[in-house]
Amino acid sequence: MADSIPILADLELHPYLVDGELPSGLAGKVGIYAIFDEGYALQYVGYSRDISVGLTQHLVRCPQQCHWFKMHTVTRPSRTLLEEIRTAWLAEYGSVPPGNADQQSVWEKPIDAKAFMTEAERDAIANAEPSQTNKLLKQLARRVETDIKAQVADRGAQIPIKFNPKLKEQGLLALK
């Protein structure tokens, strides 16, 4: 049987976290998901080769917007099918959620710690010797990492969060 396009409204709504963890059984599953905030407003529709990894990334990037989700797994991975489902879900919803519009980079790209620089950090980096810039960016990334982990913990998550150490030298935070 071929994969078909499910109706978003017909799919079961799942809590993002159950006892501090993502719901079990998502690891390694290919599919598409819709993420909702605390008030059940659609925030983002995306797909992943591993739904568990995708949902974890979004929780880290946008912890306050990730409270509920709906998902559909596919038996045969197909970007074309997943794109068709996303298009259908967005049309069904009637408007483009923030994560698929002006906030798309926040939902999909590594976190740029430079966006969270204090004035003192900005001055230190601007006046640093080139050999010191990466060290200062890494310090900045570590500070932002601490803040992000605290926000995720405040949401009740007890999942391990490990960022790629190589990217920290560029001031970027991406899950490893």
CB atoms within 10 A of CB 6: 15
Say what the pLDDT of residue 166 is: 94
Whether 114 has a pLDDT exceeding 90, the answer reads yes
| Residue with tokens 């794109």, as numbered in its chain | 83
Average pLDDT, the chain: 95
Token duo for residue 160: 């391990």
pLDDT band at 77 (very low <50, low <70, confident <90, very high): confident
Count of CB atoms within 10 A of residue 43's CB? 22
Token code pair at residue 159: 């999942």
Percent residues over pLDDT 90 in the chain: 94
Q: Report the domain count for the chain.
A: 2
Relative to beta strand 172-173, strand 111-112 is antiparallel
Residue 1's pLDDT band (boundaries 50, 70, 90)?
A: very low
Report the greatest alpha carbon distance in the chain.
62
| CA-based nearest residue to 107, from 56, 152, 142, 158 | 56
Q: Please check whether residues 96 and 27 belong to one and the same domain.
A: yes
Domain range for residue 145?
111-173
Q: How confident is the model at residue 102 (pLDDT cuts 50, 70, 90)?
A: very high
pLDDT > 70 in the chain, percent:
98
Same domain, residue pair 129 and 148? yes
End-to-end CA distance of the chain: 35
Distance (Å, rounded) from C-alpha 12 to C-alpha 26? 14
pLDDT at site 76: 85
More confidently predicted of 2 and 49: 49
Residues 140-164: what's their mean pLDDT?
96
Checking if the pLDDT of 86 tops 50, the result is: yes
Per the CB < 8 A criterion, the answer to whether 74 and 30 are in contact is yes
pLDDT at 2 over 60: no
Last residue of a domain, one of 76, 108, 140: 108
Q: Which of 108, 128, 149 delimits the end of a domain?
A: 108
Amino acid symbol at 115: A
pLDDT surpasses 50 at 117: yes
Structure tokens at 65: 């917007």
- Token output for 170: 């560029």
30 & 89 share domain: yes
Residue-by-residue DSSP string for 29-90: --EEEEEE-TT--EEEEEEESSHHHHHHHHHHH-GGG-SEEEEEE-SS--HHHHHHHHHHHH
Is residue 95 located within the same domain as residue 119? no
> Taking the model in full, what pTM does it have?
0.92
Look at residue 2 and tell me if it is in a domain: no
Mean pLDDT over 24-44 rounds to 97
